[in-house]
Chains A and B, each alone.
Chain A
Amino acid sequence: MDLLRFSTAGSVDDGKSTLIGRLLYDTKSIFEDQLEAVEDASTRRGEGYVNLALLTDGLRAEREQNITIDVAYRYFATPRRKFIIADTPGHIQYTRNMVTGASTAELAIILIDARNGVLTQSKRHGFLSSLLGIPHILVAINKMDLVDWSEERYEEIAAEYTSFAEKLGVDDLSFIPISALLGDNVVEPSENMPWYNGSTLLHHLEHVNVGAHRNLVDFRFPVQYVLRPDQDYRGYAGRISSGSIRPGEEILVLPSRKSTTVASVDTFEGAVDEGIAGDSVAIATTDELDISRGDMIVRPLNLPTADTEIDATICWTSEQPMEPNTQYWLRQTTRETKAFINRIVYRIDVDTLHRDEVKQFELNDIGRVHITTAQPIFFDRYQLNRETGSFILIDPHTNNTVAAGMIRGAVRTVEDLPEEKTDEELRPVSPDVVWEAWNIDLPVRESRTGHKAAVIWFTGLSGSGKSSIARALERKLFDGGAQTMLLDGDQVRHGINGDLGFSPDDRTENIRRIGELSALFFRSGSIVLCTFVSPFRADRERARGLVPEGRFVEVFVDTPLEECERRDVKGLYARARKGEIAHMTGVSSPYEAPENPEIRLETVGRDVDDVVSELMVRLRDLGVVR
């Protein structure tokens, strides 16, 4: 059984508390005595129905005013999964509570009253969810019973919200029409909406992919506490923020930059073979180093950014407005340092997404700032690593938490830019890593494989036939003795790019990494076949630039959209047309066809063998294969 944390935002009017009450009730997570207490209270308050909202509004003031003030956490479980709900209020004056609830959530439920459609509030929830990096957004279009279960109304709202969400770069956006009051499509499928054949809300919650956004690549271990029971043992206790670590691996300690080796990864049950993101462990090292709380243990070739100038988006959480020259405490991972806000770049109007120029932030304001810290902090971009990219600011006088921050990067000015660099040096590079020549030259490798290395890059719409063609081609080359490697979207999105979604930014990053990956395989002497929609010309051009001229073959699988949609192998087009998938290339996201591909293939009415034969001829002409 795994665990899903999700947030719900909304007010009683949207039916949020009713929905949660319904989920708890239908999964048998409410007990008789709780239900009786609610029934009694509803009667005392003169309400003609059992007010399920009374179950969740825990504070007296909340029950009296019929509103949710603070974040409340609710728990339920089904045989598949345990759920933690962060139930947050929806009004603008509670933005900080929404941000709090969203900070640990992997999915957000946004409730829309079908009668009212997309309101400012629904957009705000979407914006805050995407800002806090929640990978899955589920829009529950509620009170369908009050719009005569109208499919048309549902489609209308879904389309409007989809077009709004495109601006946010939401990875995974889904819609479900429900009636929380009557239970339709919450746990049981609705008999009133036969036109809807998607999941129920609970089914969606049970099956959404959890942990997909977790960073399993970059090892980061903020030291929390030093364990020293006696002279013989010294262990650095902490929870692995991201990545993984094994005994014997080389590590580097920040800020001292001293390196050593992991002697053991210890737990109460004994030393373990591997510690992974989320595990609380203690790391013992082979050398005695001076390591204390606030230090970070990383790998020497995978470093976080270390800087004192931070570019961040913050949410102001205090009644007391921001003071420009106040020194705050900044707490990030287990590290704490003095900091001040150097510059307000802009404030975002969370309802219109406009950027305003302001002198200070007040309660619930959100915007971009530059912060200077007294000591360097070790961070990654929040988008790539929630654990090392987040921080809070603490008022030194009241000790209150006055701001929550998400790091965008280090502040960079024109002076920081390098003057002239070679291509190799200009590629994004981890700090403090210098380029070294390859150990074994490519021609030497090629003399062993007996063929030239190349990158064959298949681009085209989803369903155009890229994968089928590439798989058949690889089989043919491999059987002929060639050293080959095929990179396919479904594989890389599972591992190396598992942290990425489908927003334009993430798609660019996806292709950037694949380009780098194929360049590495290329250097090993392989013929690398890449099959990716890769809709943006600039992204493909960058991949081309990573290998020597003449070794990159762009193959445009030119199948018209109508034909791809007719095939719809994965059912993606149907879902996209329903508004269930944002950023579907060809439907709601553009495809920039290659202008001068090395090879253009037509597939309509042809079988795979026929196309592959043509391709082999063309590759021979280009001198890629013999």
Chain B
Amino acid sequence: MTQEHSHLRHLESESIFVMREVAAQFERPVLLFSGGKDSILMVHLARKAFWPARFPFLLVHIDTGHNFPETLEFRDRLVEETGAKLHVGYVQDSIDAGRVKEEEGPNPSRNGLQTVTLLDTLAELKADVALGGGRRDEEKARAKERFFSHRDRFGQWDPKNQRPELWNLFNGRRNPGEHFRAFPLSNWTEMDVWQYIAGEGIEMPSLYFSHRRNVVERDGVLLAQSEFNRLLAGEAWEERTIRFRTIGDATCTGATESAAASLEDIIAEVAAARQTERGGRSDDKRSEAAMEDRKKQGYF
């Protein structure tokens, strides 16, 4: 509670309350860790919520295999520093086992495949709740999400028939085979996250800060050069000054041109931004209800 801004103090306290409810109401909670700023914030808040004890959540990373190397380095260092336990579920394993089939075409993404790996991993771990860093301001289907979000035996979300969630009373009761997703950051906005990170001095991966990198512009999205992104006919890599506003699968996470080199720069940029942070994600652009459809299937 070092934060001066009372709305950040309020959000922090609310998130800690939700995390403690998760720990109290569930047997085998896991915290989904993507390596992005929201999941780093989640780990930070989890440490606060249970201090001086260790947080009782297993970290789970669903690895598409299409990573920025910086993400994995950062992840491993954080795990070591916090003394947390990490479990990695590999999308490659799901592909090898024939559970999913890799997309074909010029822009193959493993983003959709993650859902199967995620559900398999949760089943393998017998996890009854998965904590995620999802926020309601990210996307309009997420605006309807509960703090405690019920999933049926198939891991599916039924948005039209959700349990009402009143006051601060969270109902995590479940039948065998069902699980929950819990979203302690529900009420945070992108701006809140950055202001809080700056106020707390939380270390962030270098990908979020301005740097020079080879990219290609495709359908209005800047894709970074990597072994997973191939050029189409007529395209060429060009070096630009960019940063990432979200970090996910390297094949679908777009960069933005930016000179923001510090947290203060980023906050100023977010304040002036005219595009949502997910505006750089080609996975959301597939249809008006792309996120809702993926969430129903069990996506993050």
On A, residues with C-beta under 8 Å from B are 1-3, 31-34, 37, 41, 55-61, 63, 69-75, 77, 81-82, 84, 96-97, 99-100, 103-104, 224-225, 227-229, 233, 235, 237-239, 266-269, 272, 278-280, 282, 293, 317, 329, 331-332, 334, 386-387, 390-392, 394, 399-401, 404
Contact = CB atoms under 8 A, between A and B. Distances in A.
A229 B51 CA distance: 8
22 contacts: A31-B276, A56-B140, A58-B142, A58-B292, A60-B288, A70-B159, A73-B186, A73-B187, A77-B191, A82-B192, A100-B166, A229-B54, A267-B51, A268-B47, A268-B51, A280-B14, A280-B17, A280-B20, A317-B164, A386-B167, A399-B173, A401-B166
A82 B7 contact: yes
Contacts of B292: 58-60
B42 to A, nearest CB: 14
Contacts of B17: 224, 239, 280
Nearest to A386: B167
B243 to A, nearest CB: 17
Contact of B274 (A31, A84, A227): A31
Contact of A70 (B7, B162, B274): B162
B164 A100 contact: yes
A266 B288 CA distance: 46
A391 B169 CA distance: 7
A331 B171 contact: yes
B167 A390 contact: yes
B166 A103 contact: yes
B174 to A, nearest CB: 6
A279 B1 contact: yes
Closest 3 CB pairs of A and B: A58-B140, A229-B53, A268-B48
Contacts of B175: 399
A239 B167 contact: no
Contacts of A97: 164
B274 A32 contact: yes
Contact of B52 (A3, A227, A401): A227
B279 interface: yes
Contacts of B275: 31-33
Contacts of A282: 51
Given A37-B288, A58-B140, A272-B1, A227 B50 contact: yes
Which of A2, A58, A224, A404 counts the most B-chain CB atoms under 10 A from its CB?
A58
Nearest to A97: B164
A331 B10 CA distance: 23
A72 B13 CA distance: 22
Given A390-B166, A404-B164, 5 more contacts: A55-B140, A229-B52, A229-B53, A235-B52, A269-B1
A239 to B, nearest CB: 5
A239 B187 CA distance: 17
A469 B290 CA distance: 69
Interface in B77-112: none
A325 B212 CA distance: 69
Nearest to A391: B169
Contacts of A70: 144, 159-160, 162
Contacts of A63: 288
A100 B165 CA distance: 6
B126 interface: no
Contacts of B276: 31, 33-34
B218 interface: no
A293 B22 CA distance: 13
A74 B136 CA distance: 8
Contacts of B171: 331, 392, 394, 399, 401
Contact of A77 (B24, B144, B189): B189
A228 B53 contact: yes
A337 to B, nearest CB: 13
Contacts of A228: 53
Nearest to B150: A399
Contacts of B162: 70
Interface string B232-253: 0000000000000000000000
A104 B14 CA distance: 12
A104 B187 CA distance: 12
B289 A60 contact: yes
A331 B168 CA distance: 11
A98 B266 CA distance: 37
Nearest to B1: A267
In this complex, the member of A1, A280, A334, A387 whose beta carbon has the largest number of chain B beta carbons within 10 angstroms is: A280
A96 B1 contact: no
B181 to A, nearest CB: 16
Interface residues of B, number: 57
Given A32-B275, A33-B275, A237 B166 contact: no
A195 to B, nearest CB: 36
A239 B9 CA distance: 13
B298 to A, nearest CB: 17
Interface of B: 1-2, 5-7, 10, 12-14, 16-17, 20-21, 23-24, 47-54, 136-137, 140-144, 159-160, 162-169, 171, 173-175, 186-187, 189, 191-192, 273-276, 279, 288-289, 292
A41 B173 CA distance: 39
Contact of A227 (B1, B53, B141): B53
B24 A224 contact: yes
Nearest to A100: B164
B10 A3 contact: yes
A22 to B, nearest CB: 17
Given A229-B54, A399-B174, A75 B136 contact: yes
Contacts of B137: 74-75
Nearest to B140: A58
A247 B5 CA distance: 25
A77 B173 CA distance: 35
A77 B267 CA distance: 14
A310 to B, nearest CB: 15
A74 B162 CA distance: 18
Nearest to A294: B24
Contacts of A233: 52
Given A237-B20, A279-B13, A58 B163 contact: no
A280 B13 contact: yes
A390 B159 CA distance: 25
Nearest to B8: A1
A33 B173 contact: no
Nearest to B5: A1
B249 to A, nearest CB: 20
Nearest to A59: B159
Contacts of A235: 52
A9 to B, nearest CB: 15
Nearest to A389: B167
Nearest to B291: A58
> Which one of B49, B143, B159, B191 has the greatest number of beta carbons of chain A within 10 Å?
B143
B151 to A, nearest CB: 13
B292 to A, nearest CB: 6
B6 A96 contact: no
Nearest to A275: B1
Contacts of B187: 73, 75, 84
A278, A317, A387: residue with the most chain B Cβ atoms closer than 10 Å? A278
Contact of B21 (A34, A75, A224): A224
A202 to B, nearest CB: 17
A401 B169 CA distance: 10
Contacts of B140: 55-58, 72
A70 B144 CA distance: 7
Nearest to B3: A269
Contacts of B23: 225
Contact of B2 (A34, A74, A75, A269): A269
A239 B160 CA distance: 31
Contacts of A103: 166-167
A3 B14 CA distance: 13
B164 A96 contact: yes
A59 B1 contact: no
A267 B1 CA distance: 8
A71 B21 CA distance: 22
B16 to A, nearest CB: 4
